[in-house]
Structure 1
Amino acid sequence: MPLVGFGIWKVPSSSAGDSVYNAIKTGYRLIDGAYDYMNSKEAGKGVQAAIADGLVKREDVFVTSKLWNNYHKKEHVVEMAKMENDAWGLGYLDAYLVHFPISLKYIPPTEVKYPCWWKDEARTVWNDLDPVPMSETWGAMETLALRGQEAPGKERFARSIGVSNFHTQLLYDLLSYAKIKPAVLQIEHHPYLISEHLVNMAQENGIAVTAYSTFGPASFVEMDHPLAKTAMPLMEHSTVKGIADKYGKTPAQVLLRWCTQRNVAVIPKSNHPERALQNLDCCTFDMTADELNSLSSLDCRMRFNDPGALDKPIRIWV
């Protein structure tokens, strides 16, 4: 999995194909998607077009997608993996992650509305919880990784499996029974939320960590997030700007390098070609240990992607 990728959260389906194609043309080789983003088919067409035009081969591109919360029961996991794999149209997914450690009641995929926490686009009817043990969900995820190996002739939907938005206690529990341990942990991660113990625990157990929302509040301002509207933008913070000025880099590059220099992958999104290229070019300098620590010292446990803050809270974070 490349250390710097292109995320397609909040990329409109109408432009996802072009965005992904241009990202690959710029040099990105990791594309991070999810069923919840409702743009997999269009993003897949962007990858297919890049392959058809000779920009890359299929094996050059690492595609990640995710299992949504309504499909944690074992009878739905393979079904949804097949559906997502078919939507991308690339033959297989490189990584397939459990999106949240939250199980919601089943809704037929044809009836799902974005954003998928609710049953309707007006966000008036909440999707209720439907408890499913993670051992059941993970066991079904393991069958995805084993297809084509232990069962020759079966279509292999995912080359690797992982998790997203898990905390240390749940990871320890998962590792206690997993036959195949998660290859990847994807989490919200930025200097306002460093989750030091979680990152260390994952890396100590050979689980690659991917950071999303690396720019902190910037990803949530357009969503009218109350916390994001009042928080100091990380790209305007004096510590970030001072380091950027020293190295002749952008604040965004500093925030991304804070992750990658600590072996945490990043998946920023940008609709601007110049910024997309700058983001990809974030590994061309090294900060000092003191500078990395000064960024980490901004930690105030400020979390933006929190289902505990929804109208009907689901409290997965401490």
Structure 2
Amino acid sequence: MDDRMAARVSGRPKALPATVLILLVMLAGCTSAPGPAPSPAPSGRSAAARWQPEPGTDWQWQLSGRLDTSVDAPVYDIDGFDHEAAQVAELHRKGRKVICYLSTGAWEEFRPDAARFPTAVLGKGNGWKGERWLDIRRTDVLEPLMESRISMCAKKGFDAVEPDNMDGYRNPSGFPLTAADQLRYNRLVARIAHRHHLAVGLKNDLPQIPQLVGDFDFAVNEQCAQYEECEELSPFIEAGKAVFHVEYELPVARFCGQSRQLGLSSLLKKYELGVWRERCPAAGA
């Protein structure tokens, strides 16, 4: 309530008859503003139940090239904008769960909704051509944009969301972002995904795992072995939640032993994230 409204109602009014009070209460309940409308629960999925990938679940991560649906993996992580409901449905027919890749912490000039992002929320480049960090403090601007993107994933039938660039506070973003700003924004993204009955993964942001493990359904990590950080992902494993992990520069012999010990779902991939992948061999192989 602002000061002008407070001044108008600060005087004590006459008592109203009980019947009038009851009617006013009923009307207030009928006219309260609704919150954001969630997507209807997809067929066969109850609104209360979300997919929960377990530690050790194999996966395929393909963000470039023609989608190859023949890879023998129970989970696919693919670009949400580049693929349609029919491709998600095809993967479902093959018994796969499908994760919707989105960038939620950086602007991408090549996306169809790029013009909806005001210049004021665009920061420095994040190292990838055509991408810039977002001012995640501006949730008044970003929440409806992310709501629209995540709703798109839900309408296409995806089971989960992988929100990328979730650690702008650790990078030279062009904004004075703090750890508290990042926690607030990451939790907002998780709430939006859950409103649409989707599981959601925490992408990187290792320092905040202890605070965020309860808000997210799995984790996605790049290069924790190369930087000797994989043990920091253990809270997800201990909570019965999968950690989907990739390395780009280490041979599998350098990280698969630790991955098996920690319970990570690890792959060797190339930076372009095409079809090619190398799984960790089974124990004893």
Q: TM-score range by the shorter chain?
A: 0.5 to 0.7
**Aligned mates of 1:138, 1:59 — CA distance in 2:** 30
Partner of 1:140: 188
| Letter aligned with residue 30 of structure 1 | V
Partner of 1:172: 210
Determine which of 196, 202, 222 is the counterpart of 1:163. 202
The one-letter code of the counterpart of 1:31 is Y
Stretch deviating more after TM superposition (264-273 or 78-87): 264-273
Change over 3 Å in CA distance of 1:92–1:85 after alignment to 2: farther
Structure 1 residues 194, 103: closer, same or farther in 2, change over 3 A? closer
Aligned length: 197
Using the TM superposition, give the Cα deviation of residue 83 of structure 1 relative to its aligned residue in structure 2, in angstroms: 2.0
Pick aligned residue for 1:101 from 167, 185, 189: 167
Which residue number in structure 2 is paired with residue 60 of structure 1?
Answer: 96
Q: Which residue of 2 aligns with 1:28?
A: 73
Distance 1:159 1:182, change over 3 A: same
Match of 1:285 in 2: 282
Residue equivalent to 1:192:
226
Question: What is the DSSP-based 3-state SS (H/G/I as helix, E as strand, rest coil) of the residue aligned with 1:140?
Answer: helix
Q: Give the structure with the larger strand fraction.
A: 2
Question: In the alignment, does 2:43 pair up with 1:5?
Answer: no
Indicate whether 1:211 and 2:245 are aligned: yes
What secondary structure sits across from 1:65 in the alignment? strand
More helix by share: 1
* Residue-by-residue CA offset, 1:97-119 (whole Å, 9 max, x unaligned): 36322259xxxxxxxxxxxx99x
- Are the counterparts in 2 of residues 100 and 165 from structure 1 also a CA contact under 8 Å? yes
Note the C-alpha offset of 1:264.
0.8
1:239 alignment counterpart? none
1:32, distance to aligned residue in structure 2 (A): 2.8
Deviations 1:87-137 (A, max 9, x none): 796234513436322259xxxxxxxxxxxx99xxxxxxx754455623431
* Contact map agreement 1:6 1:268 (CA 8 A) in 2: no
Change (3 A) 1:80 1:59: farther
* Cα distance, 1:59–1:286 mapped onto 2, change above 3 Å: closer
Alpha carbons 1:72, 1:103 under 8 Å: kept: no
Structure whose alpha-carbon radius of gyration is higher: 2
Contact 1:78 / 1:141 at 8 angstroms: preserved in 2?
Answer: no
Q: Could you say which residue in structure 2 is the equivalent of 1:266?
A: 266
Given the superposition, is the C-alpha separation of residues 96 and 134 from structure 1 closer, same or farther in structure 2, using an over 3 Å criterion? same
* Cα separation, partners in 2 of 1:25 and 1:197, compared to 1, 3 Å: closer
Partner of 1:41: 81
C-alpha deviation, 1:86, in angstroms: 2.4
RMSD after superposition? 4.0
SS of equivalent to 1:199: helix
Query: Is the alpha carbon distance of 1:59 and 1:137 closer, same or farther for their aligned partners in structure 2, counting shifts above 3 Å?
Result: farther
Amino acid at match of 2:181: P
Q: What secondary structure does 2:168 align onto?
A: coil
- TM-score calculated relative to the size of structure 2: 0.52
Partner of 2:136: 72
Which residues of structure 2 form unaligned runs of 5+? Answer: 1-52, 107-133
What amino acid does structure 1 have at the position aligned with 2:209? L
Q: CA deviation at 1:286?
A: 1.0
Q: Name the CA shift for 1:29/1:208 in 2 (closer, same or farther; >3 Å).
A: closer
Task: In structure 2, give the amino acid aligned to 1:264.
Answer: L
Shift of 1:186: 2.3
Q: Corresponding residue for 2:156?
A: 90
Unaligned runs of 5+ in 1: 34-38, 105-116, 119-125, 148-155, 217-233, 236-251, 289-318
The alignment partner of 1:48 has SS state of helix
Partner of 1:122: none
